[in-house]
Structure 1
Amino acid sequence: MTRIVSYNILAGGYSLREKGAKRTEQLLKIIHSADPDIVGLPEALNPIKFAGPTVVEEMAQVLGMQLIKGGETGSSRDYQTALMTRLPIISVKNHARPGILARPLLEVCVEESSGQQLTIFVIHLSAAFNRRWAGNHIRMREVREILHILAPFRAEGKPHILIGDFNSLAPKDAFTASALLKYVMRMDTRRKNLTLNDGHPHLNSVVPPKLRFLNPVLRTVAHSEVLCKLFDLAAYFYAPRGTIRLLTEHYIDCFRHLHPHEDGFTCPAAAPAGRIDYIFADPTLVERLQMCRVLVRGEDDFLGEHASDHLAVAAEFGLSVAPQVPSTPVDNAISHS
C-alpha cells in the first residue's frame, strides 16, 4: 500500500514569533503517526533564510526520505512547496505559470512497491481573502490552469493525485466562521509586529480594505454567541465554493468520498472552522482508496494544534493488481492449430 500525507506546516516549520524557533520535533510527531511514503508540503520553505539546515531538511533526514523542493515563487514574501518520499523517484517537474499560479505546481512521479508509477502534484492556492470575490476568481484561474496541466494524465489514464492547501471550501461543507473569527482575534492580540509574515491570518488579511471600518463590529460579534450563530449562517452562504466544485468534476475528494457526513475541518488547527486541505485522486485510483482522515493527534497523543495552524490529512491506497488474462487451454490451442 501507499500512504500519503498533505500537510501545511506553517511558515516552513519556523515560529517567527519565537525568533525563528523550529517546530521539527512537533511536526514529526504528527507525520510519524501516519507512517507515510509520501508527504506533500504546501508551505515548506520559508523565504527568510535561517542558519543551518531547514526544518524540512531535518524532517527528511529523520524520516529517511528524499526531499524535492518546489520552484521559486517569484516573491520574496512567499513560501515554496516541497515533497518528501521514501519511494524511488522517476521524474520531477515544476510547472511555473507567472501571472497565473502564485506558486509553481510541483510534479513528482514515484514508483510504488508494486512497480507501478504514481504521480503526485503539490499546490498551494492563493488566499487573497481580503479581496472578496476577486480572491475566488484568482483561485478559479489557478485551478483551471492546473486542470489544463493535468489534462494529459487524465487522457492517458495515468494514476495521479493532487494534494495541498486549496484555501477553499467544498460545496455543502460546513463552515464555522465564528471559530475562525475568534481565532484571528486571538492572533491579533498576540501579534506584536503587524508586518510579520508568519503565516498566521490576521483581521486585515481577511477583511477587505473598504470594509475594515466594520472591524469593531466583528470584535463585538466574536463575543456574542447569538451573533456568532448569525455570522456562521451568513458566512456559509457567502463563502465561494466554485474552486472545489470545479475540481470534483474531474477528481475524487478522498475524505468526502469515505466520510460523506463528517466535517473533517483542517484549519485553524487550534479552532477548526473549515476544510481547506485536500487529497484529490483521479478516478482510476478510487477502488484503491482504503483510508482518508484528518490527523488531529500524533504520536504520544500529541495535539496537531501545537505543531501547525493546519491539521494534516492522510490517505492510504492499496496496491492495484494487474488483471489476469486467462490463458488458453493447451488442448484448445492444439485443436485450432
Structure 2
Amino acid sequence: MTYNIKTGGYDSSRGTRLEPIAEVIGSALPDVVALQELRGDSGPWLAERLGMRMIRARSSWGQPVAVLVGPEWTVLSAGSVARPFHHAAARVEIATLGGPLTVICAHLHPHWGWRRMHEARWLVTAVGRNRHALVLGDLNTLDPWTDHQERLAALPAPYRVRHLRWRPPGRERSDRDVATVARVDTRAIAALDAAGLVDVFRAVGDGPAETAPTALGGAEFSGMRLDYLFATPALADRLRSCHVVRTPTADRASDHYPVIAEIDI
C-alpha cells in the first residue's frame, strides 16, 4: 500500500486524523505500507498502533517518508536513497520465499516537473539490477497515457502550472520574440516507464484510478492520479490486483486515497 497521509495526520483546525488513517491501513491488512508526509511522531505512532516496523527517511527541505513492514517479514537492509530529494525516499529490502524484495517509497517534488523527472531517474538508479523491486509513493505527476486537459483546466492557475511544461513554439525563433506555450509535464512517469518499470494500476488495476482529492478536499487537485506503484518486469509477472481504497473512513482520513496491490511473491 502507498498512502499520503497529509501533514502527518495533523490539522490546525481539525486536530489529529491518525486514528482514521490507522483504521484505513489496518482494514486492508497490508504487509508493506509506504507513507508520505510524516510529521512529528506520526510515523512511530502508526507503526506502534499497527504493530509494524518503521523505516524512515528524513528530509532536508520537505517532509519525511517511511516504510512500514509487517512483523512476520525479515528486513535484510534498510535506509534512505542517498540523493537530494525535495522530500525523501526510503529503501528497504525484505526476505520473501520468492527472493529478496526491494521496496522504495518516494515523494517527488510537488512544484517543478524538471526536478521530478530527475528524482524519478534517481529512483531508477536505486532499483538497479534488482529482479524484484517495487517503487511506490506520491509521485506528484500525471501519467503520459491519459488526456489531462479537462482536469487541468479545472485547477486554479497557481496549481495548474505545477503540471505544465513550458517551451518555445518554434526552435527557429527566439524565446524573446515568441510567447511560450505549455504542454502537460509527464516526464517523471515517462522516465520510470522508459526504464522498463511497469505501472501496476495500468497493468491490473480495477475501478477509478484517481487518488486525489478525497472528500477532505484540496484546491490543488481536480480528480487526479498522483499516487503510483511501479514494479520491475519480473515482479509484474506476479501481480494479482490493484485498486484505490475508497471508503467513508478514507474520505476523511487524508486528501489522498491510498492505493493497494496484491502481489504473489
Shorter-chain TM-score tier: 0.7 to 0.9
Q: Does the alignment pair 1:145 with 2:122?
A: yes
2:227 equivalent to 1:277? yes
Deviations 1:168-205 (A, max 9, x none): 11112254526963xx7xxxxxxxxxxxxxxxxxx745
TM-score normalised over the length of structure 1 = 0.65
**What is the deviation of 1:80?**
0.4
Answer 1 or 2: which has greater strand percent. 2
Shift of 1:26: 0.8
1:6 paired to 2:18: no
CA distance in 2 between counterparts of 1:33 and 1:174 reads 33
CA contact (8 A) 1:161 1:280 kept: yes
| Corresponding position: 1:84 with 2:68 | yes
CA distance in 2, matches of 1:82, 1:174: 32
* Structure 2 residue 52 is matched with structure 1 residue 68: no
Decide which structure has the larger Cα Rg and report it.
Answer: 1
Give the Cα–Cα distance (whole angstroms) in 2 for the partners of residues 110 and 259 of structure 1.
24
Distance 1:159 1:207, change over 3 A: closer
Is contact 1:166-1:276 (8 Å) kept?
yes
- Give runs of aligned pairs for residues 95-134 of structure 1, distance below 5 A: 95-98=81-84, 101-112=85-96, 114=97, 116-128=99-111
Task: Measure how far apart 1:267 and its partner are.
Answer: 1.0
Residue 315 in structure 1 maps to residue 265 in structure 2: no
2-structure distance, mates of 1:80, 1:94: 10
Task: Give 1:207 deviation, angstroms.
Answer: 5.2
Q: CA deviation at 1:269?
A: 1.8
User: For the residues of structure 2 that align with 1:172 and 1:118, how far apart are their CA atoms?
Assistant: 28
The letter for the 2-side match of 1:161 is L
**Hey, which of these two has a bigger chunk of helix by percent?**
1
Determine which of 116, 135, 139 is the counterpart of 1:166.
139
Aligned pairs, how many?
A: 237
- 1:274 Cα deviation after fit: 1.1
Other-structure match for 2:36: 42
Q: 2:241 aligns with which of 278, 291, 295?
A: 291
Q: What does 1:142-291 align with in structure 2 at a 5 Å threshold?
A: 142-153=119-130, 158-175=131-148, 176-177=150-151, 181=155, 204=158, 206=160, 238-249=183-194, 250-259=196-205, 263-270=208-215, 273-291=223-241
Q: CA RMSD in A?
A: 2.3
CA distances 1:16-44 after superposition (whole Å, capped 9, x unpaired): 333xx221111122112321000001222
Partner of 1:304 in structure 2? 250
What secondary structure sits across from 1:256 in the alignment? helix
**Counterpart position of 1:229:** none
**What whole-Å deviation, never above 9, does each CA across 1:90-112 have from its counterpart, x for those lacking one?**
111212323xx223321001123
| Structure 2 CA distance for partners of 1:265 and 1:126, relative to 1, 3 Å | same
Q: Distance in 1 between matches of 2:127 and 2:4?
A: 22
Three-state SS of the structure 1 residue aligned to 2:49 is helix
**Secondary structure, aligned partner of 1:116:** coil
Deviations 1:101-132 (A, max 9, x none): 223321001123x263211001100011xxxx
The DSSP-based 3-state class of the residue aligned with 1:26 is helix
- What is the SS of the residue equivalent to 1:40? strand
Decide which of 15, 29, 54 is 2:23's aligned counterpart: 29
Amino acid at match of 1:102: H
Q: Which runs of 5+ in 1 are unaligned?
A: 129-134, 185-202, 209-236, 320-337
TM-score of the superposition, structure 2-length normalised?
Answer: 0.81
Structure 1 pair 81–180 and aligned structure 2 pair: CA distance change class (3 A): farther
Cα pair distance change 1:294/1:179, threshold 3 Å: farther
SS of residue paired to 1:127: coil
**CA positional deviation for 1:136:** 1.4
Is the Cα–Cα contact under 8 Å of residues 56 and 79 in structure 2 kept in the other structure?
A: no
